[in-house]
Amino acid sequence: MSQKKTSRKILKWLNHIATTLLFVVLISMLFIVISSKASGGEPEIFGYQLKTVLSGSMEPDIQTGSIIAVKPGGDMTRFQEGDVITYMEEDQKLVTHRITEVIHSGDNVMYRTKGDNNDAVDAEPVLSENVVAEYKGFTIPYIGYIINFAQSQNGAFLLLIPGFLLLGYSAFIIWKAIREIEPANKGKTKSNEDQESLSSS
């Protein structure tokens, strides 16, 4: 009996874990897609933008496929050597690199940058007006691949899968609970009928 009880407890915990995981995946994917559509680009939370890193130029601190939190806005001439910034290149490509030198040219401020994993500094200095955000040190490995996929048409379609799995699992749990309740109710009804027949006799 003790083994059966232990097995039931384990199955119960596994059910809870599976349900929680499905729910977390569903909510996370919904947040990513809705936030991306609302902002017209990358997801944003509490004033921080989540950027996907798909190159290894800043490894090992920022792994390929990571997401990073960057803080947009503010005075883009405030940065110093050692700060990590996200800036827009001429081809509209976002890059996150570390500042190696601050260059003052008249009223203009420029930054010479370099990827931590690169052998040489970047070819062209970055104008302060091309800086879009500052990297704040928060990164989660590999999630960037999932975000990129979720933002695609195929990813948005597959977003429905965790929802359907969660609904199906919930329906199964409800059906199972009803099946367990029905025999108990039948047993109570039969017991009441037997008592009534005994009292009438």
Q: What is the DSSP string of 147-201?
A: HHHHTSHHHHHHTHHHHHHHHHHHHHHHHHHHHHHHHHHHHHHHHHHHHHHHHH-
129-183 pLDDT per residue, tens: 999 999 988 888 877 776 666 656 665 565 566 666 666 766 777 777 677 665 5
Res 149: pLDDT: 63
The average pLDDT across 40-69 equals 82
Of 169, 79, 163, 172, which is closest to residue 127 (Cα–Cα)? 79
Mean pLDDT of the chain: 76
Known active-site residue 2: no
Instruction: List the catalytic residue out of 28, 35, 55, 57.
Output: 55
How far is it, in rounded angstroms, from Cα 176 to Cα 173?
Answer: 5
pTM: 0.58
